[in-house]
Structure 1
Amino acid sequence: MNEQKKQKSFLLMIILVSTFGGLLFGYDTGVINGALPYMSESDQLNLNAFTQGLVASSLLFGAALGALVGGRLSDQIGRRKNILNLAVLFFVAALGCTFAPNMTIMVIFRFLLGLAVGGASVTVPTFLAEMSPVERRGRMVTQNELMIVTGQLLAFLFNAIIGNTMTDSSHVWRYMLVIAALPAIFLFFGMLRVPESPRFLVAKGKKAEALAVLEKIRDKKQAAKELKEIEEAIEKESSIKKATFKDLSVPWVRRILFIGIGIAVVQQITGINSIMYYGTEILKDAGFETEVALIGNIANGAISVIAVLIGIWLLGKIGRRPMLLTGLIGTTTSLLLIAIFSFTLDGTKALPFVVLGLTVIFLAFMQSCIGTVTWLVLAEIFPSRLRGLGMGLSVFFLWITNSIIGLTFPSLLSTIGLSATFFIFVALGIWGIFFIYKYMPETKGRSLEELEHYFRNYKEDKKQEDITVGAFK
């Protein structure tokens, strides 16, 4: 019994330490929300609408590149070593942003921070999936999503505390940014105690080391069984010819990549990150003072954490497609109401409270129904031979779309205003609903082989058939 407790405690330690990569992901993407208004007023940075977008989006362009190379790097040097390197990069880049003397240096270090965020977005979930027992894999991997939104909540909370207690300081934004260095220290020293993934060790021919790791987190019988399963899986994968760009000439391969990239893009065009990065600016534009807007953002962070917990529970109860459609209808409706009320209630004292309430509703739909489902569907939809190419391209397009929105949103807000900007997101949301309804198949309860068979046999001209309900031949 003591041995089982030790194994469970060690596994919990692995989860806690490694998901600090997700916490850093969340904090570094969320902290800009509160820091940006003070950066704009800083004599050293003196940001305008365009350079605000550049500072926010430089991290996202870095994340796109980090996600693209992060998986390959962890395959070469190991998941553990890659996360250790990412912790160092998180720390150095956070300090670089904190002490940036001008906008150029800020953008450079934000880009480096993005490399760490992108690398963590692919490496940490992979590491968790490979360390977790089969029966707990779904729950363990989704812990990373929970830590991401927890990181964003902490960013909003510290932004509000610092922004309301240090109003006389010209370095308010620097205090907000430097906090990100602390979890990076914890991640680095914590990972020194964490073993390498057994799957990576087997892939490198270190079977004895892999078994020793498994015996620390499983009982001996289960460890031996799992080691054999890992060996068989790696042998099977080595015989599978991986898809390359040449395979895009095959219609069913093009179709599944089209759907994967489309799902990734749809998640971003909801406007989620315009609220996560520029929530303070949105609430200021609606009528709140900066300090009050920072406090209001705490509600956005809190609802995100609660909604992710609800979403994790819903995954076992409802299909992926209905969850996505429900989420998109909810987010699009919320944005439509923000756009309408921003126009009709312009200048009234009620407007900022209405906007805050609607952003909370927006995030409830987004994080419970869209955020939790998107990454899961992308993991499920691609057959083994397509997974590397499919996930790589989908995540790349997700970050690029995120980057474009992050770059253009402040300029749109300053030129056409809050109402017109959100009407654009409403139009994009309607397109997203149409895309998911028409193209996305239901993946819940289907094996990878069944999905591959489905895509191979789908007939484009059979329009009357609902593509999500057993279109097998």
Structure 2
Amino acid sequence: MNVRDDTLQASALTTDAPSPAVSRRLRVITVVATFGGLLFGYDTGVINGALPYMTDDLGLTPVTEGMVTSSLLLGAALGAVAGGRLSDARGRRRTILTLAVLFFVGALGCTLAPTTAVMVVARFVLGLAVGGASVTVPVYLAEVSPAERRGALVTRNELMIVSGQLLAFTSNAIIANVGGESGGVWRWMLVIATVPAVVLWFGMLVMPESPRWLASQSRFPEALEVLKQVRSEARAEAELSEVSALAVKDEQEKLGGWQDIKSVPWVRRLMFVGFGIAIVQQITGVNTIMYYGTQILTDAGFTSDSALTANIANGVISVLATFFGIWLLGRVNRRPMLMVGQLGTTVALLFIGVFSLVLPAGDGRAYAVLAMTVTFLAFQQGAISPVTWLMLSEIFPMRMRGFGMGVAAVVLWLTNFVIGLVFPSLVDGIGISSTFFLFVVAGGFSLAFVKRYVPETRGRTLETLEAELRARFSS
């Protein structure tokens, strides 16, 4: 089937407009599920402002500082593969409910942690939830969404992630200004995350299961009932016919786990592409800005309080850029968007390194570095991050979609873990300029990988895309 046939097939399913009730139901499902993204963003962003205050109370060294930051990332790596496997076996909805409980327990554990060891363990638990959510929520949204709205709806999760990070940056600044230097002010920063965890749990109690997961379990009548909630009746029946045919084919091939990665060549090649997309997103160095942004700005010349406030600009630009990225995804192809984002972030990192090296300490260098971090995040959050999570939720076969994305997300989170762990030591050892120059070199390799290996996914139903990728990577 060629691309023109794919587009015609997708168009055939979109000729009848959904009723207002159907559109409203789809919006509610998207809002509730993406509270997982909000928690993902808040729990990864809050450490940015909490860490300086936590350092004094818990007696952190550069090594234990890296452990506190990166323990969440190690948990996320395990949570991604476990969450993906669980969501394939038990369902997307049930997995998200479990993750909501982990978010609550982890956030409460961090808030009450009396020692560094307890904090590291609690952050690891929180990481399990973050990793599971990073896989399960995009897959759930991709499988519920109509083909023509999949890009916009799946990337709402990315919007909620950056909104969670902005909420963390803003609440950190407010709490720091109100609480000042009082002991334990960081605990108030961390406890806020328990509230959206409760909202997510109660909300998912009344949400439907993914229709494609139900079909993969041969529960076709239930899948049709869910599709009728989010499609017109005629389209729901037509879509179920396509989904059920693929489910039968996947069942015959027994797709669904590690054995397929080893023994099925096209799945193995597809996993290689997924791993590459995951690594590309992380080696831009985005999470050095997310986790250590306040310290980067302090090193550039801001005072501690000014850096906390200035860091809000990073959160604001992330949200605005994600809005723009969602709009852009409906109008341009994914692959060139990823390449433009990669080019923009690489250039911005180059200038951060140059400014840190050649400009004298003071306001000039501080605001120049801030301008480049804002530019970096505009390209990262407006192009690279939305496309990354969207493509990872699209490219894997239906019966192993959660597992495939989970394994790719393990690679993403382990890359994130290594960068988060070594970044403070790199800056301490070779300086901030040389550290960012390393990211610039990595950006060049990333651009070459995307150009050569990454396929285009826009304009296809998930079933059509699976057939196309099967044909492409089997040859």
Normalising by structure 1, we get a TM-score of: 0.88
- What does the per-residue CA deviation read over 1:279-324, in whole Å, with 9 as the maximum and x for residues that have no partner? 0111111121121111111111111111112222222333333222
User: 1:99-178 alignment to 2 at 5 Å?
Assistant: 99-178=112-191
Give 1:125's aligned amino acid: P
Distance 1:185 1:230, change over 3 A: same
Aligned to 1:464: none
- State the distance in 1 between where 2:305 and 2:65 align: 19
Aligned to 2:275: 261
Task: Decide which moves more: 111-120 or 422-431.
Answer: 422-431
Aligned to 1:295: 309
Match of residue 50, structure 1, among 54, 59, 63: 63
Within the alignment, does 1:369 sit opposite 2:379 as a pair? no
User: 1:71-470 alignment to 2 at 5 Å?
Assistant: 71-204=84-217, 206-242=219-255, 244-245=258-259, 248=262, 255-382=269-396, 390-444=404-458, 447-457=465-475
Give 1:50's aligned amino acid: V
Give 1:188's aligned amino acid: W
- What does the per-residue CA deviation read over 1:163-210, in whole Å, with 9 as the maximum and x for residues that have no partner? 122113211111110000010011111122223333344444555544
Tell whether the 8 Å contact from 2:37 to 2:133 is kept in structure 1 after alignment.
yes
Match of residue 36, structure 1, among 19, 30, 51: 51
SS at match of 1:239: helix
Distance 1:303 1:223, change over 3 A: same
- State the distance in 2 between where 1:191 and 1:445 align: 29
Distance 1:354 1:96, change over 3 A: same
- State the distance in 1 between where 2:87 and 2:400 align: 19
Give 2:78's aligned amino acid: L
- State the distance in 1 between where 2:271 and 2:231 align: 37
- State the distance in 1 between where 2:224 and 2:457 align: 33
> What is the Cα deviation at residue 397 of structure 1?
0.8
Tell whether the 8 Å contact from 2:214 to 2:222 is kept in structure 1 after alignment.
yes
Distance 1:321 1:353, change over 3 A: same
Which has the higher relative contact order, 1 or 2, with Cα contacts under 8 A spaced 6 or more apart?
Answer: 2
Aligned to 1:460: none
Task: Decide which moves more: 254-263 or 68-77.
Answer: 254-263
Tell whether the 8 Å contact from 2:152 to 2:327 is kept in structure 1 after alignment.
no
- State the distance in 2 between where 1:380 and 1:214 align: 18
- What does the per-residue CA deviation read over 1:36-87, in whole Å, with 9 as the maximum and x for residues that have no partner? 1111122xx1111111111111111111111101122123322222111111
Aligned to 1:18: 33
Tell whether the 8 Å contact from 1:201 to 1:207 is kept in structure 2 after alignment.
yes
SS at match of 2:332: coil
> What is the Cα deviation at residue 355 of structure 1?
0.8
Tell whether the 8 Å contact from 1:128 to 1:140 is kept in structure 2 after alignment.
yes
Task: Decide which moves more: 62-71 or 260-269.
Answer: 260-269
Task: Decide which moves more: 72-81 or 236-245.
Answer: 236-245
Distance 1:119 1:393, change over 3 A: closer
- State the distance in 2 between where 1:445 and 1:409 align: 39
SS at match of 2:409: helix
Structure 2: gaps (5+ residues): 1-17
- State the distance in 1 between where 2:93 and 2:406 align: 20
Distance 1:232 1:259, change over 3 A: closer
Distance 1:381 1:38, change over 3 A: same
- State the distance in 2 between where 1:347 and 1:371 align: 32
Give 1:415's aligned amino acid: G
- State the distance in 2 between where 1:251 and 1:209 align: 33
Give 2:125's aligned amino acid: L
- State the distance in 2 between where 1:295 and 1:57 align: 24
Q: What root-mean-square deviation, in Å, do the aligned CA atoms of Structure 1 and Structure 2 show?
A: 2.5
SS at match of 2:253: coil
Task: Decide which moves more: 192-201 or 259-268.
Answer: 192-201
> What is the Cα deviation at residue 436 of structure 1?
2.6
- State the distance in 2 between where 1:99 and 1:371 align: 32
Task: Decide which moves more: 47-56 or 446-455.
Answer: 446-455
Task: Decide which moves more: 111-120 or 309-318.
Answer: 309-318
Distance 1:326 1:122, change over 3 A: same
SS at match of 2:361: coil
Tell whether the 8 Å contact from 2:81 to 2:403 is kept in structure 1 after alignment.
no
> What is the Cα deviation at residue 382 of structure 1?
4.7
Tell whether the 8 Å contact from 1:311 to 1:369 is kept in structure 2 after alignment.
yes
- State the distance in 1 between where 2:457 and 2:431 align: 40
- State the distance in 2 between where 1:424 and 1:160 align: 31
Distance 1:188 1:272, change over 3 A: same
- State the distance in 2 between where 1:409 and 1:429 align: 17
Tell whether the 8 Å contact from 1:328 to 1:366 is kept in structure 2 after alignment.
yes
SS at match of 2:207: coil
Aligned to 1:469: none
Distance 1:40 1:306, change over 3 A: same
Give 1:306's aligned amino acid: L
> What is the Cα deviation at residue 332 of structure 1?
1.3
Aligned residues: 453
Tell whether the 8 Å contact from 2:261 to 2:271 is kept in structure 1 after alignment.
no
Distance 1:228 1:317, change over 3 A: closer
Percentage of matched positions with identical amino acids: 58
Distance 1:376 1:78, change over 3 A: closer
- State the distance in 1 between where 2:207 and 2:181 align: 43
Tell whether the 8 Å contact from 1:65 to 1:118 is kept in structure 2 after alignment.
yes
